[in-house]
Each structure stands twice: as structure tokens, then as C-alpha cells.
A and B are shown apart, each in its own frame.
Chain A
């Protein structure tokens, strides 16, 4: 399945240390259009740092990133701004701009980065808010929104920039259980539309239903990877299987 599609993003041998601690040890990933890859594994395994390295929010110490066959020069600001425009990011704690309304959160980057007029930006923002089911909330500020609504605004904000790839860093783990569903539905909707995504998540329904490939990260390395059918097949002794069993047990306890 991978071989007949050209990769749009190639990340090779990313290494990152903070002081003496190696967070990422030569991690690689390739994405073709429409791929959904899911990172799982224990906290501290490097998932979040890896995602942030992919759009250079954390600068890798070494390694290569190629977007559409063009190598990103880490020292060139223009390359990095371009990479970030093409690769959207969703954070665990939403990171909405607190002083702007839902609409303003989306229009400000459109106007500053894409140089859209106010009118164009607002039209686009309204379209995106509609997509995530928040048309009636455009004039509310982040502090007036629920967690699920905040995350949906954050998704709308990222999508408005027309990214080719979306990185999602545990998009539902800061939400209480009653609000997770609305965000999961939005993410599933993106998958249906063919959005290319890399997502770190512990949400078992996302892992089972969406993943083309599961990557299990531990101690700064990808220690296992493969399609969910193979890794999570009954009787398989894979780490991913063990981890997902654990997640299942937990969700049963919660339920």
C-alpha cells in the first residue's frame, strides 16, 4: 500500500537531546497523501517532542525533513515558516489566543500569514467554524467555551490555513469524558475527507478506527510499527497490543 504512493513528508533520523537526556533517538516517518499514522506509547517516550520536531517548534539536533521532495533547511527561517504553514498542529491544551473571539482566533493568522483581507478571512473562518459545528459561537472568547468547543476552534483554526498535513498531539486527553466525543467526531470527519495526519493519542476508538499504521514509541525510539490488523491481532504479543489492552481495561473502568 505504501509503495504505490509518493510520500509528501519524509522525516529521517530525527535526534533531539535536552542536555544529557536523549529524547529522540533517530526517529523516522514517511507519509503519503491521506495516510493516518498513530503514535502510541508511554508518556515520556518522545511522542510530543517528535511531533513538535516535525514542524520545527522544537529544533531537531540532527536529521532531515523533506516536504514535497524539498529538503527543509533548519537554518532558513523562510523554509521553517513554509513548513509550518503546510503542517498544521493541534495541541493537547488547545492553545487558543485568550484575547480573541473564536472568529478572531482563526482570522488573525489568515490575515497575518496569508495576508487575506478582513472580509476574506472572516468568510473563511465562518466556513471552518461551520465545519466543526460552532457557527453560533463565533463571537465567544476562549474562556466562554467548553474544552471540547475550544479544541474544535483550534482544529478550525489549523484547517483554515489549508495544511497538507495535520499533527495532533493528544487532542482529547485534556478533555473530560463527556466532551471527548464531539472532538473525536470532528477528527473522524477529517479522516473521511482524506486529511493526512500524524496523531499521538490514547483514545482507543481513534486507534482502532483510523490508523493506517501504528507506531509504538518508547525511550525516544519507534520500537514497533505496522498496520493495526497485524499489531493488534488477537493473540499477538506485540507491545502495542499490550498497551491497547491496558487502555481498554482503563476505559472499561471509567465506563
Chain B
């Protein structure tokens, strides 16, 4: 017991260093996903048949193939095939970003479809172009509506980032496994890793809830419209 505790204490700075990398992966992936998701959702709702079909295929690929398979496929396959020399960190961030992008596209699509259609009509009637209406009227509202679903996505991506260890990115999971395999203190070390992940999830979800309240439209209740 003595030994277990001292191993955890000694290795904690080393493990926490990994949490910076984990946080980096999650932040990069979430913002890449946001970027992909916004453009895709607009295409899925307002695009013509060809655009919608292409985007739907993208969604199905990233929804249907496991993240681990995608990691190996991109890191050992696709990137070297294309002659790109991306680090494990970059690969994980991109793969997770593209994956969450597919899910975020559906989140935003649902939010766009839930907006009263009349607002877009009113914007058009005032002479605004479709792009102006999307930018000034649709996006500001759907991003607000999407924060709860977005924070789910955040916790999923945070936990999926642990898969980065399979291609050797030195994040929390990889470091924990490294220490555990040398000290044999599996129980205490994985509990510690679990707690670190839990705290990161908790902090992010609380932060997003604060953001949701901060950007809330006055007069609307927290739970849907009116």
C-alpha cells in the first residue's frame, strides 16, 4: 500500500504532463470538428443533392469505422501514402477532429431544422442573401442551441483521446501504461488516470454550462424555447 501511494505521488507530475497533451488533442479536435461541423451542417440543410450526398457519405464513414482503425489507417497508411510526415499528436487530433466533425454536423443540422423557418424567410424578405441570413441569423442561434450536445461531444472526444496511446502519442493513457508496466502498480495508477480524465471532463462540461448560461437569450427558459 505504501508502495502504491508513493508510486502514484512520484509519477503524478509525469502523468499530469500527459494531460497537457490530452487537452491539446481535445481542444484541437473540437475546434476542427466545429469548423467541419458548421460547414457540413449548412451543406446538409441548404446544399443541392450532390453536396448532400457527398457529405452524407462522409458522415457514414466516420460514424461507421472505429476510431482505432482510423488512427492506424491515417498514421501508418494514408499519411505516408500521401508523403505527409505528421506526428502522432497531429494524427490523433486530425482523426478525432474529423470524427467529431461528422457528429457535430448532425448536431448543428438538427439545430438548424429546429429553428422556426419564418426567421430565414424574414431575412430573405429584408433583402439579405442566403449567406448573410445563415451567418447573421441561423448560426448565432444554432450554436447556442447546440452547446448541451456539444458538451456531450467534448466528453466523448476527451475519452476517445486515450486511444492515442496505440500510435504512441505520450498522453495520459500512454504515460500511465508506461509507469504501470514498470512498477506493477496497475490498480492505483489506473485509478489515478481515471480521476484525471474525470476531472478534465467535469471541468469542460461545467465550463460549457457556464458558457451556455452566459450566451442565453433573455426571455427564453434554459430548457428549449419559451
Contact = CB atoms under 8 A, between A and B. Distances in A.
A141 B217 contact: yes
Nearest to A143: B219
Interface string A70-113: 00000001000110110011010111111100000000110011
A98 B132 contact: no
Contact of B128 (A96, A112, A142, A143): A112
A161 interface: yes
B18 to A, nearest CB: 40
| Interface SS majority for chain B | helix
A80 to B, nearest CB: 9
Contact of A89 (B125, B220, B226): B125
B214 to A, nearest CB: 14
For chain B, the bracket of interface size reads 20 to 34
Most A CB contacts (10 A, CB to CB) among B136, B141, B225, B226 go to B136
Interface stretch (B101-109, B113-121, B157-165): B113-121
Contacts, number: 82
B141 A99 contact: yes
Nearest to B124: A57
Interface string A8-40: 000000000000000000000000000000000
Contacts of A81: 127, 129
A244 interface: no
Contacts of B132: 112-113
Given A95-B118, A95-B119, A99-B144, A109 B126 contact: yes
B135 to A, nearest CB: 9
B127 A98 contact: no
B218 interface: yes
A108 B122 contact: no
Contact of A95 (B122, B127, B129, B141): B122
A123 interface: no
Interface string B36-56: 000000000000000000000
A201 interface: no
Contacts of A202: none
B122 A97 contact: yes
For chain A, the bracket of interface size reads 20 to 34
A158 interface: yes
A91 B122 CA distance: 8
A158 B126 contact: yes
B140 A99 contact: yes
Given A143-B217, A143-B218, A109 B226 contact: no
A113 B126 contact: yes
A160 B125 CA distance: 13
Nearest to A101: B218
B167 interface: no
A232 B24 CA distance: 74
B90 interface: no
A55 B219 CA distance: 32
Nearest to A83: B127
Contacts of B220: 98, 141, 143
Contacts of A109: 123, 126-128
Among all A-B residue pairs, the 4 with the closest Cβ atoms: A143-B219, A95-B122, A95-B118, A85-B127
Given A91-B121, A108-B137, A109-B127, 7 more contacts: A57-B125, A77-B129, A84-B125, A97-B122, A113-B127, A141-B217, A144-B219
Interface of B: 116, 118-119, 121-129, 132, 136-137, 140-141, 144, 217-220, 225-226
